[in-house]
Amino acid sequence: MSWRARRALVLLTLALGATAAGWVRGEVYQEPDAFVAEIFGTKPAPKVLWLTKDIQAQAAAILGHPPVQLRQRYWSDAHKSVWILEEIGKEELITAGFVAADGRIDHVRVLVYRESRGGEVRYPTFLKQFKNSTLAHNNTLDRDIDGIAGATLSVGAMERMARLALFFDRMSRQ
Amino acid sequence: MSPRLLLLRLLRRWHARIGFAAMLFFLMLAVTGLALNHGQALGLDGRAVHAGWLARWYGIKTEPPRRAFRSEHHVLIAANGRWLLDGRASGQTLPEPLGLIEFADNFAVASETALYLFREDGELIEKLERGALPGAPVQAIGSSVRGIVLRTASGVFTSADALSWRLLTQRSVLWSAPAELSAAQRQACEEALTPGVSVQQLLLDLHSGRFAGRYGPVFVDLLAVLLAVVSLTGAWLFLVPRLHRGRH
């Protein structure tokens, strides 16, 4: 086999490997660590919110299913808190970072998207709808979030995570 | 007897015969169709049926469990991406475990890419991944007087709460190691660790006939034709006598 053919074969193998790895891990737009570091300048030590029975019940009402773990890691300073949350869109988990400041959503970013369709939820035009949203009655958002055709379930997952981030932020400051 | 009456009698007989013969299949199509139409609300995506015969039918290769990780109060056996933790099988797909240790009142299971912290009753406290781990991949898990110990490519780290990690200097670590299962133990937990088939996939295959192999869809096509025949004969039996009465 000539060196050109060998090189092509190696490149093809690497490309296939990278594609397969991406498919398994999903589309990583930003590592959660990098997101936290970007918000605070450096990555501060994590804190944890223990989900008591009452918090679990309210989180379950927001998510539509019980939370999967008993403690939630977060990062905070005097003004803002950062929550890295995961929720299933249709079949796969969406990982998103939420920054809550003074009881409002300050910033949202989709960090890892694993679904095959509906990735439009990562676009700023969609995410900016969450800016300054707060929790209203019954832990719902104080506004309606416009959907995206073909991404209804991912939009729903993002909205549930935004509500949960605000709820957790409130609980962490009590 | 008039030819029209003969035809009506023939149609009524065959309408009843076809309807009765295919009743079970029509019901199955109706039930699976309804369930698929509301799959999201019913949460069919996340559910799976775990049965040895079903896995064999789908040609899914199954590996019998070979090793167990044991601590003082807990046992973990894994195979086919499933965990049997203290006799309870995981519903979701989980990675190959590296070890199991107890710390404080809790216990922890490590895989190459994640650390799972459990409360004594088996409830998941937290799953730690890359960013929360002191290094990746994890090579081994152990315990010391300080708490959890992880051996990674970048060193041996310890933590009491899995929040902050520091390099371990003292070397008295009790590393978790697997123990071989006896043939009887393997057999006892083999069924529980069988890989699952998604309920949604199963319903879809039953509805389309693909569950029965290559001739299944042909059979469902035949049922569709029979359903059309039953509908048309039913319409004929309903309408023709009324039209006839209308003329007289």
| B110-121: pLDDT as tens digits | 999 999 999 999
Total number of residues shown for chain B = 248
Q: B41: nearest CA in chain A? A: A64
- Average pLDDT of span A33-42: 93
The answer to whether position A152 is within a domain reads yes
Under a CB-based contact definition with an 8 Å cutoff, are residues B156 and B149 in contact?
yes
Q: What percent of chain A has pLDDT over 90?
A: 69
pLDDT the model gives residue B97: 95
Work out the average pLDDT over A24-48.
88
Q: Which residue has the higher pLDDT, B35 or A1?
A: B35
Residue B198 has pLDDT above 80, yes or no: yes
Residue A84 buriedness (CB in 10 A; 0-12 / 13-18 / 19+): buried
Question: Is pTM, for the whole model, over 0.80?
Answer: no
Residues in chain B with CB shorter than 8 Å from the CB of A91 are 45
Assigned domain for A11 exists: no
CB distance B147 to B112 below 8 Å: no
Chain A: nearest CA to B198, how far in angstroms?
Answer: 11
Q: Would strands A71-76 and A47-50 be described as parallel, antiparallel, or unpaired?
A: antiparallel
Count: domains in chain A: 1
Task: Provide the β-strand partners of residue B100.
Answer: B109
The answer to whether residues B68 and B75 touch, using CB atoms and an 8 Å cutoff, is yes
Q: How confident is the model at residue B243 (pLDDT cuts 50, 70, 90)?
A: confident
Check residue B47 and give its pLDDT: 81
Flag whether A37 is in a domain. Answer: yes
How close, in Å, is residue A146 to chain B by CA atoms?
A: 21
- Give the integer Cα–Cα distance in Å for B167 and B144: 13
| Portion 143-162 of A in contact with B at CB < 8 A | 153
Q: Are B110 and B97 in contact (CB under 8 A)?
A: yes
Higher pLDDT, B47 or A4: B47
Range of the domain at A61: 27-172
In A, minimum Cα distance to B126 occurs at: A69
User: Nearest 10 degrees: CA dihedral of A113, A119, A125, A130?
Assistant: -50
A124 — pLDDT class (breaks 50, 70, 90): very high
Q: What is the predicted pLDDT for the residue at A15?
A: 44
What's the whole-number mean pLDDT along residues A15-40?
A: 72
What pLDDT is attached to residue B90? Answer: 82
Could you tell me if residue A145 is inside a domain?
yes
Query: How long is chain A?
Result: 174
When pLDDT is cut at 50, 70 and 90, the band that residue A22 belongs to is very low
User: Is B45 in the A-facing interface, judged by CB distances under 8 Å?
Assistant: yes
Tokens of B61: 């290769």
Q: Is B104 on the interface with A (CB under 8 A)?
A: no
User: Does A7 reside within a domain?
Assistant: no
pLDDT mean over A68-88: 94
Give the neighbor-by-neighbor strand order of the sheet with B97-103: B97-103, B106-111, B115-118, B124-128
The pLDDT, as a whole number, for residue A8 is 47
- pLDDT score for A13: 45
A156 has a pLDDT exceeding 90 = yes
Whether residue B143 has pLDDT greater than 60: yes
Q: Do A71 and B163 touch (CB under 8 A)?
A: no
A-B interface: how many C-beta pairs under 8 angstroms?
33
**Is residue A7 scored above 70 in pLDDT?**
no
Q: pLDDT class for B248, splitting at 50, 70, 90?
A: low
pLDDT, residue A5, reads 52
Percentage of chain B exceeding pLDDT 70: 98
Whether the CB of A54 is below 8 Å from some CB of chain B: the reply is: no
- pLDDT tier for residue B247 given thresholds of 50, 70 and 90: low
Q: Say what the pLDDT of residue A4 is.
A: 53
Assess A60–B contact: CB distance below 8 Å, yes or no: no
Determine, yes or no, domain membership for A14: no
Residue A47 belongs to a domain: yes
Confidence of residue A6 (pLDDT cuts 50, 70, 90): low
pLDDT at A18 over 50: no
Region B214-236 average pLDDT: 90
Segment of A159-168, B12-21, B60-69 carrying the highest mean pLDDT? A159-168
Nearest alpha carbon to residue A165 among A109, A91, A92 = A109
Distances in Å between the Cα of A20 and the Cα atoms of A17, A26, B77, B93 are: 5, 10, 29, 18
The rounded mean pLDDT for chain B is: 88
Q: Tell me which of B42 and B97 has the higher pLDDT.
A: B97
A15 part of a folded domain:
no
Looking at mean pLDDT, say which of A107-111, B40-44, B62-66 comes out highest: A107-111
Suggest the residue from B126, B130, B198, B200 to mutate for an interface test with chain A (most A CBs closer than 10 A).
Answer: B126
